[in-house]
Amino acid sequence: MSHENVQPQDSSPDIYLDSASFIDYDDKMVHDFAERESAGAENDLDAILRIYYAVRDKIHYDPFHVGPDPRYFRASDCLREQRGFCIPKAALMAACARALGVPARVGYADVKNHLTTPKLHELVGGNIYTWHSYTDVYLEGKWVKATPAFNLSLCEKFGVHPLDFNGRDDSLFQEFNTKGMRHMEYVRYRGVYADVPYDTIVSEFEHNHPRWLHNRANA
């Protein structure tokens, strides 16, 4: 994993507390969302679990809401639109965690979707999705991975188990659907970052997923 700005796995958690260009919790709407959704939490773990489920289910996963403009990757824009694909949703969860004083960063991997739809297969250019994103949160002295991408109603529609998260164990993907068919498979890890590596992702999308990246231009 040799991409720019990649952070070593043993980095001090404190470097993952600042607001950033894409993980922008200094945006009032993001800060207010984090405060509202975590209200009444008894501790950091409880607060992050509330944030996880809020981002997962209240922000609609939309794999067609993709474009080259930074707004398609930024946490605050994802919240304003109430929709986004995995990258801005992971950034939004990280932004909310940081707003609450909990270190968080974003991680990436290439995944194979064995159950992709024909429409997405054509748009993405296959069933390998590069730079699929998750959130890495520092809780109770260790990093744990959470993937708030796929909202409950979407999972129910496609017969996929929703991803739960307990704050202590990694929650990365649905390996099988409710019928036992193979669903998601991680094929390459790309590391963790203090902010969304926008330039690198857009450059690689131009190469790997050009139609997907420019889908909104024809919307």
Could you tell me whether strands 60-61 and 83-84 are parallel, antiparallel, or unpaired per DSSP bridges? parallel
Task: Report CA-CA distances (Å) from 81 to 61, 78, 209.
Answer: 11, 5, 23
Q: How confident is the model at residue 138 (pLDDT cuts 50, 70, 90)?
A: very high
- Judged against a pLDDT cut of 80, whether residue 185 lies above it is answered with no
pLDDT digits (tens, 9 = 90+) for 79-111: 999 999 999 999 999 999 999 999 999 999 998
Cα–Cα distance measured from residue 202 to residue 219, given in angstroms and rounded to the nearest whole number = 19
pLDDT digits (tens, 9 = 90+) for 170-179: 887 655 444 4
pTM confidence score? 0.89
Q: How confident is the model at residue 4 (pLDDT cuts 50, 70, 90)?
A: very low
What the chain holds in terms of domains, given with CATH numbers, is 13-218 (3.10.620.30)
Strands (E), 48-199: 60-61, 83-84, 104-113, 128-139, 142-146, 184-193
Q: How confident is the model at residue 2 (pLDDT cuts 50, 70, 90)?
A: very low
Tell me what pLDDT residue 114 has: 52
Residue pair 182/114 in contact by the 8 Å Cβ criterion: yes
